[in-house]
Amino acid sequence: MLPVIYSEEFLDHKTGKYHPENPERLKAIVNALKEATFAEKIAWRSPTPASEKPLLMSFLVQAHTPNYIKKLWEIASSGGGYLDGDTPVSPRSYDVALLAVSAWLDGVDAVLATANPAFVLARPPGHHAESDAGMGFCLFSNAAIAAFYALEQPSINRVAVLDWDVHHGNGTQAIVETNPQIAYCSLHQYPCYPGTGKATERGFHNNVLNLPVPPGSDITVYQPLWENKVVPFLANFQPDLLIVSAGYDANADDPLASINLQPEDYALFTDYCLGLTRKVIFGLEGGYDFSTLSQSVLATIERCLF
């Protein structure tokens, strides 16, 4: 059984009818999973309410400034608004973003309890959220907060964050790169939003590996990078836990980028991860074509069931 952590409350982060990061993304994935041939092997779990995780805020403030957390709460409490032109906040967005953080922390707990993977099916996404600003559809830096939380667990000394979203996780990198116990690796289109993630960036402890790929790239570009760069980098770091920022917007049909991957390619990516360790948390980031998004999530989860 594979834990999938999900709540219908994640649909309450309202972004507007025409915004690409909308509740319909999760609905499409849930419907596909319930109709999958392996549906009976999925263990659906509700995330722990944030109010029942007394230490959640202590990990939140490791990643974000109190002023930013307060600002987000104030915008939501006053009826909503925008953090930037791309990042709307609705009345329930603050609470839903906290629940998403809790879901990622539950993912850590699930993986450490079983030494097997888990999938966190949450929104809003997080890898663009910086310490003092939300941006790029992202409110809280879910993966970074999960990494900080994991390092407080007795069996964890090193955590790796792998970001295969088509956009560079500027927020995650900025938040974790000063910590020698965390490694960050990203494969992303360049040039592309947000314009960060140069190959020359190595982190403060040689703990960052950025692999920018040009528009039009497909699996023939990605596979050698995985085998010659990603896997050796992560294997050398020897993480006790691997957190994957699993964005699926590098698909050829995705409207927000220009990479030509196919859903089945994510099965290969998943195999590479599981070849390093079974202790893997996959957490949803981007992916805006509902069909290929759903197929790609299915490809990831199906490989985890072997």
Backbone angles phi, psi at 272, to 5 degrees: -60, -45
Active-site residue flag, 13: no
Contacts of 154 (CB under 8 A, 6+ apart): none
Catalytic residue among 128, 167, 168, 188: 128
| Residue 20, preceding peptide bond in cis (omega within 30° of 0) | no
CB neighbours of residue 204 within 10 Å? 11
Helix then strand then coil, in percent of the chain rounded to 5, is: 40, 20, 40
Contacts of 256 (CB under 8 A, 6+ apart): 20, 166, 167, 193, 249, 286, 288
- Evaluate the CA torsion angle 110, 111, 116, 121 in order and state its sign: positive
DSSP assigned state of 135: B
| Residues carrying an active site annotation | 128
